[in-house]
Amino acid sequence: MSALPAESAVISAKNITLELNDSYFRRTWWEWVFAALVIAGGVFAFTRYHSAMDVYEKGILLGAVPAAIWLGWLWAPLQRLMLLVAVLSLTGIAAYQGDLGRAETVFGLKYFLSSQSAILWMSMLFFMATAFYWVAVFAKGRADGLELVASRLVWVAVTMALTGTMVRWFESYLLGADVGHIPVSNLYEVFIMFCWMTALFYLYFEAQYKTRSLGAFVMLIVSAAVGFLLWYTVARQAQEIQPLVPALKSWWMKLHVPANFIGYGTFALAAMVAFAYLIKQQATETKWYRLAPLWLLGIVLCFEPIVFRKSSASGLNDYWAVYFGVSALIVAGILLGRRAIAEKLPSFEVLDDVMYKSIAVGFAFFTIATVLGALWAAEAWGGYWSWDPKETWALIVWLNYAAWLHMRLMKGLRGTVAAWWALAGLAITTFAFIGVNMFLSGLHSYGTL
């Protein structure tokens, strides 16, 4: 007797599930070696530092191990990145030999592997990558080779950023057990996180869509962040490791802040893709007043010198003058070369898809971060929500992208309106990220400028 239709459907579903499970665990020998190394690293961290962890931190470590394996299996380049960062970080940590003063006497630490050296390498490499991407846009020959160099530079920059972050974490404990903390507690540290997270998500989309031309646009926002980071380092000595304020002494910080900056990074990425979309759309436009996206980019790029003009007290007028000049040249170059740029960009469909997926990922993590933030607030301040300026603007960001996704999924939002909306979202996100810290005071004022 033949199986009934319902039974056949159940059997088919089971077969598909078995095939998917079988294909997922059918891994190469190297992937299993990678998984074993991650597990070994987790076991080492637990056995050595478990006495300094509370039950929640042990849970985070336990969850981080399978998450790292899954991510490495999902995207193979992450395997090499994780292992290289681990080797470089452990090399730097071993070089200290428990003495923070060795950062100025040991060659490898002074010039490469101390947190400050690694972050400076990150900054230089991001600038270089941005330059190579833009040269490739206008190059008539060997553009692919230039783009490949730019992409490799971004990978190295991300590696140095993560190495610097891990070594800085160790350095904080060398200052004292009561000082040590994960380096995601102030503007300096989270700007570093923003840079490497945005760049890493871009590299993923670059590989998925097999196009490197968007790097010229995405790296602009990363380089702008690096520009602020360098100013902040000199003007405020922000690189100095400081003890945590009481409200930040919580395991919630290890979850809330990274989730938040996945959102910020992907929203910024989506905005720059939206800008590329509008440039491609208006490539043949001859009326200057209709080239509004270019003028908007000019405002964004030149925003920092205007806001931070108060830096004159720090003797940094020359820095912002150079920054302003470079920004103006970039805007002028894009304006004059918009047709050549448009020819190198991928199709409107690809741009629209990258924009959508970036916002979707960012919205998911920003939602998680907002929920975690509410739980953290309840523990630290006794209430889930207090309409603090940072909380209010986080809600505005969330509502903005919730509406964008609703219109996309329910009403089929595409094209020009979607791009403009995503680009406007960058202004909202930027104010929530840094504007609140600059102009408003509240419970989150520990991140002020």
Which of 360, 340, 228, 232 is CA-nearest to residue 279? 340
| Residue 312 confidence (pLDDT) above 50 | no
CA distances, 361 to each of 40, 54, 370, 434 (Å)? 30, 30, 14, 21
The CA distance from 214 to 358, in Å, is: 13
109-143 per-position pLDDT tens digit? 999 999 999 999 999 999 999 999 999 999 877 88
**What single string gives the DSSP state of each residue in 273-285?**
HHHHHHHHHTTT-
Which three-class secondary structure state does DSSP give residue 218? helix
Confidence of residue 295 (pLDDT cuts 50, 70, 90): low
Q: Which two tokens stand for residue 272?
A: 């720059």
87-110 per-position pLDDT tens digit? 999 999 999 999 999 999 999 999
| Lowest-confidence segment of 190-194, 213-217, 280-284 by average pLDDT | 280-284
Q: Which two tokens stand for residue 173?
A: 């404990």
| Lowest-confidence segment of 108-122, 314-328, 348-362 by average pLDDT | 314-328
| Lowest-confidence segment of 273-282, 285-294, 391-400 by average pLDDT | 285-294
User: Residue ranges of the domains in the chain?
Assistant: 13-74, 84-180, 196-449
User: Which of the given ranges, 12-21, 36-45, 333-342, has the highest pLDDT on average?
Assistant: 36-45
Instruction: Say if CB 228 and CB 191 are below 8 A apart.
Output: yes
Percent of the chain with pLDDT over 90: 58
The residue behind tokens 């910020």 is: 264
423-439 per-position pLDDT tens digit? 889 989 988 888 887 77
Residue ranges of alpha helices (H) inside 109-211 are 115-138, 143-175, 187-209
CB-side neighbour CA atoms (13 Å) of 397? 33
What's the rounded mean pLDDT across residues 41-53?
90
| Residue 200 confidence (pLDDT) above 70 | yes
401-420 per-position pLDDT tens digit? 999 999 999 999 998 899 99
What pLDDT does residue 297 have?
60
| Lowest-confidence segment of 20-24, 36-40, 98-102, 384-388 by average pLDDT | 20-24
| Lowest-confidence segment of 37-51, 186-200, 238-252, 389-403 by average pLDDT | 238-252
C-alpha torsion sign, points 107, 113, 116, 122:
positive
**What single string gives the DSSP state of each residue in 401-413?**
HHHHHHHHHHH--
| Lowest-confidence segment of 31-35, 149-153, 255-259, 286-290 by average pLDDT | 286-290
Which of 260, 427, 422 is CA-nearest to residue 357? 422
Average pLDDT of the chain is: 86
